[in-house]
């Protein structure tokens, strides 16, 4: 008696195929979610690190340092219009430090706030008035060097000086209101402290 021979078909069943497809879809959705989250976080950090707050902070510090370092130690004027908080400073410097015929500083640089903008104006000092009370003439056009400056009345102010050292503390804030509106993650608040030494007599 000859035994029966059985033939088995090879392949996958419909259920196995469906299970494989579902697993692949779940895996792709997970990978897509991770990639989308990473791209969103990258864009957010890129916008924050290239925002006006960062750029304005470094520009303001660079301008402040370069002007203060060439200014005279003989005079630095601070004004206190808001509860003894100094938000305006004037330093004086020589138009030509190598010209020994210029006895007194003949130029000035004035830093002050207009709203939330830090502005710089430079001009001339009238000859012969520096020691008694500088008369500021020929002011140049106002130049905004930082925007979104946050000013709190409970802090000592933006500007201060001690001897030759002059300090500027800027808090830059584009959080309130958010810019762009509705996306708090793309806003930034930072405080920059800059100290410079006046070198000229």
State pLDDT tens for residues 50-95.
Answer: 677 788 888 888 999 999 999 998 888 887 655 445 688 999 999 8
Q: Which residue has the higher pLDDT, 122 or 101?
A: 122
Quick: pLDDT tens for 136-185.
998 999 999 988 887 665 555 688 888 888 888 888 877 655 455 555 55
Same domain (yes/no): 102, 31: no
Domain boundary among 32, 50, 68: 50
What pLDDT, on a 0 to 100 scale, did the predictor assign at position 59?
A: 87
Distance CA 88, CA 82 (A): 10
Of 18-22, 97-101, 166-170, least confident by mean pLDDT is 97-101
Same domain (yes/no): 150, 190: yes
Same domain (yes/no): 34, 77: no
Name the nearest CA neighbour of 65 among 196, 169, 198, 170.
196
Distance CA 68, CA 64 (A): 6
The verdict on residue 60 lying in a domain is yes
Q: What is the mean pLDDT of residues 36-56?
A: 77
Could you give the percent of the chain with pLDDT greater than 70? 79
Domain count, the chain: 2
Same domain (yes/no): 36, 81: no
Same domain (yes/no): 80, 23: no
Same domain (yes/no): 57, 45: no
3-class secondary structure per residue, the chain: CCCCCCCCCCCCCHHHHHHHHHHHHHHHHHHHHHHHHHHHHHHHHHHHHCCHHHHHHHHHHHHHHHHHHCEEEEEEEEECCECCEECEEEEEECCCCCCCCCCCCCEEEEEEEECCEEEEEEEEECCCCCCCCCCEECCCCCEEEECCECCCCCCCECEEEECCEEEEEEEEECCCCCCCCCCHHHCCEEEEEEEEECCEC
Average pLDDT over the chain, rounded to an integer: 80
Q: What is the mean pLDDT of residues 130-136?
A: 87
Reading the block at residue 86, the tokens are: 């100094």
Same domain (yes/no): 32, 91: no
Contact 167, 160 (CB under 8 A): yes
Range of the domain at 46: 15-50
The verdict on residue 45 lying in a domain is yes
pTM: 0.69
The verdict on residue 8 lying in a domain is no
The verdict on residue 9 lying in a domain is no
């Amino acid at each position: 008696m000859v035994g029966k021979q059985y033939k088995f078909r090879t392949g996958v069943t419909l259920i196995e195929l469906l299970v494989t497809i579902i697993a692949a879809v779940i895996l792709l959705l997970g990978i897509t979610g991770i990639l989308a989250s990473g791209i969103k976080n990258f864009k957010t950090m890129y916008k924050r690190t290239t925002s006006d707050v960062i750029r304005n902070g470094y520009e303001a510090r660079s301008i402040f340092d370069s002007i203060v370092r060439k200014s005279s130690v003989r005079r630095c004027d601070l004004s206190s219009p808001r509860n003894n908080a100094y938000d305006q400073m004037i330093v004086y410097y020589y138009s030509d430090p190598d010209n020994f015929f210029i006895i007194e500083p003949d130029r000035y640089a004035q830093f002050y706030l207009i709203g939330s903008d830090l502005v710089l104006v430079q001009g001339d000092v009238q000859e012969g008035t520096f020691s008694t009370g500088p008369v500021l003439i020929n002011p140049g056009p106002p130049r905004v060097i930082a925007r979104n400056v946050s000013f709190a009345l409970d802090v000592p102010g933006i500007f201060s000086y001690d001897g030759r050292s002059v300090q500027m503390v800027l808090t830059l804030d584009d959080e309130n209101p958010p810019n762009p509106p509705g996306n708090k993650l793309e806003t930034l608040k930072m405080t920059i402290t800059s100290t410079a030494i006046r070198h000229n007599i």
